[in-house]
Each structure stands twice: as structure tokens, then as C-alpha cells.
């Protein structure tokens, strides 16, 4: 699978109110391994950044004045992203800006070009509900070194996101790996093992465990006032 981890920096927070993209960073991975085929693009937005945004990314209008406009880099960017599985942290923000830039040029939305878009922020919230799930917080939690991140930068953030994503999804490989070139940490070939050849023991719950389970289900059902999925399914099944 070809994955691209993408991040942008912008002049402000409102794509629908005239703010524009000023930097795009992309990191490519194939089969969860970096390829080095990355993209790092500065874009002249034709306007100044808001003061608060400038404090975040530190990219001045003076620095951007000789950089290409979005219409000058759009074809190369879309060719690079075509067919890829994108991973973006807080995807609606970056997609909103990218789609706004594309709309200004009469181009279709980015989702029509790529294979899929995964929001790593949504993934993190599901894994760590109630906790801070910013990129910095995830770097700390997952032991990803972000010591070089004094200011936000699109390419650096995309690189950090790639490391965070690998740690977030570690252990999600299929039981039967389909990589014919599987290797261990030393680079030696590893024989594939089909785990379907093994018969796993089935341990039945005891009567006490079944009763405890039913009690928990009853409490959940009472708390939801009979709106649990299993209650609705039971009601939908006709009596025999």
C-alpha cells in the first residue's frame, strides 16, 4: 500500500474566509516503510499571515514572495498524490484548505484523486478517549522524538505523523502476511507462517462468568433505557 502522510501550513484558520496555504509537506511510505520520495513545497499565498498563525509557523511574507503560486504546483502535486492513501492529522482542516485551493482553479476535490483519507486524530481519540491527542501529545505518549519542533513546519510535521501512525497501528498486521519479501531486523528473509493451520483451544465461560456477563449487560441496558443494540435486535427477531 502506498501511503502519504500530509501536512499543511496556512495564513490562518479560515479557508472559507480568504486564508491560503503557504506550505505543503508529504512523506511517502510503501508497506509501512519510508521511501524517501517526499514532497516539500512553499507556496506564495498572495497575502500576509495572521499574527497568531505567524507565531505558529514563522514563515514570513518576505520569505514567500518569490515562491510559486498554488496554480503553478497543482499539477505536480496531484500527480504525486494520485491513487495514494492519505493520512492527515485533523484531516478536515487540511482538506478544507486543499479543496478550497482546488476549487479556485476549477478543479475537483482532492478526494476524487486519492484512494482514501485517514484522519489520525480520529484514530487517536478512539484509542485514547478523554486525553490530549495533538501531534505533540502523541509524540510524547508514543515516544516519538519531536525535540526539533520549535515551530510548526509541514514536512517535519508530516515526518512526525508518519512515526506516530506507525506506533498507533503497530500490531495490526494480518494473521497471514502477504509480503513475499518479509525480513527480520537484520534484513534476513523470514519464512511465512499461515496461522490458519493451527487449531486454537476454545475455553467456555463458567456459569458464574456467564451470570456476571448477563448482569453487566442488564445494567447497561437499564442505563440506556432499553436502547442497546442487542435489545433492538432481539425485538426485531420474530418469535418461533
- Residue 89 known to be catalytic: no
pTM of the model: 0.70
* Model confidence pLDDT, tens digit, residues 9-47: 999 999 989 999 999 999 999 989 999 999 999 999 999
Our CA dihedral for 36, 71, 119, 54, rounded to 10 degrees, sits at 90
Q: Please state, in angstroms and as integers, the Cα–Cα distance from residue 171 to each residue in 41, 163, 165, 166, following that order.
A: 33, 14, 12, 9
Which CATH topology does 2-168 take?
A: Nucleotidyltransferase; domain 5 (3.30.420)
Point out the catalytic residue in the list 40, 57, 89, 152.
Answer: 152
Residue ranges per structural domain of the chain: 2-168, 207-236
49-53, 99-103, 136-140, 195-199: lowest mean pLDDT where?
195-199
Beta-carbon count within 10 A of 141 CB: 17
* Model confidence pLDDT, tens digit, residues 187-221: 566 666 666 667 778 888 889 888 898 888 888 87
What is d(CA 230, CA 221) in angstroms, rounded to the nearest whole number? 9
* Model confidence pLDDT, tens digit, residues 143-188: 888 876 656 789 999 999 999 999 998 855 444 444 545 555 455 6
Amino acid at each position: 500500500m502506498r501511503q502519504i502522510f500530509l501536512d499543511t501550513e496556512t495564513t490562518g484558520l479560515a479557508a472559507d474566509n480568504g486564508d491560503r496555504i503557504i506550505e505543503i509537506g508529504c512523506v511517502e511510505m510503501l508497506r509501512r516503510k519510508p521511501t524517501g520520495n517526499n514532497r516539500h513545497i512553499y507556496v506564495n499565498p498572495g497575502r500576509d499571515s495572521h499574527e497568531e498563525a505567524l507565531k505558529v509557523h514563522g514563515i514570513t511574507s518576505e520569505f514567500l514572495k518569490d515562491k510559486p503560486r498554488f496554480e503553478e504546483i497543482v499539477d505536480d502535486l496531484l500527480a504525486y498524490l494520485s491513487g495514494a492513501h492519505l493520512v492527515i492529522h485533523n484531516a478536515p482542516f487540511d482538506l478544507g484548505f486543499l479543496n478550497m485551493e482546488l476549487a479556485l482553479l476549477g478543479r475537483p476535490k482532492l478526494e476524487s484523486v486519492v484512494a482514501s483519507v485517514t484522519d489520525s486524530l480520529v484514530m487517536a481519540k478512539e484509542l485514547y478517549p478523554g486525553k490530549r491527542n495533538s501531534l505533540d501529545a502523541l509524540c510524547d505518549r508514543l515516544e516519538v522524538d519531536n525535540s526539533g519542533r520549535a515551530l510548526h513546519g509541514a514536512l517535519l510535521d508530516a515526518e512526525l505523523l508518519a512515526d506516530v501512525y506507525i506506533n498507533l497501528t503497530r500490531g495490526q498486521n494480518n494473521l497471514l502476511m502477504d509480503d513475499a519479501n518479509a525480513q527480520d531486523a537484520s534484513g534476513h528473509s523470514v519464512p511465512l507462517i499461515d496461522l490458519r493451520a493451527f487449531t486454537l483451544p476454545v475455553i467456555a465461560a463458567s456459569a458464574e462468568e456467564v451470570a456476571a456477563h448477563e448482569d453487566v449487560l442488564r445494567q447497561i441496558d437499564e442505563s440506556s433505557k432499553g436502547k442497546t443494540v442487542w435489545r433492538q435486535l432481539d425485538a426485531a427477531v420474530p418469535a418461533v
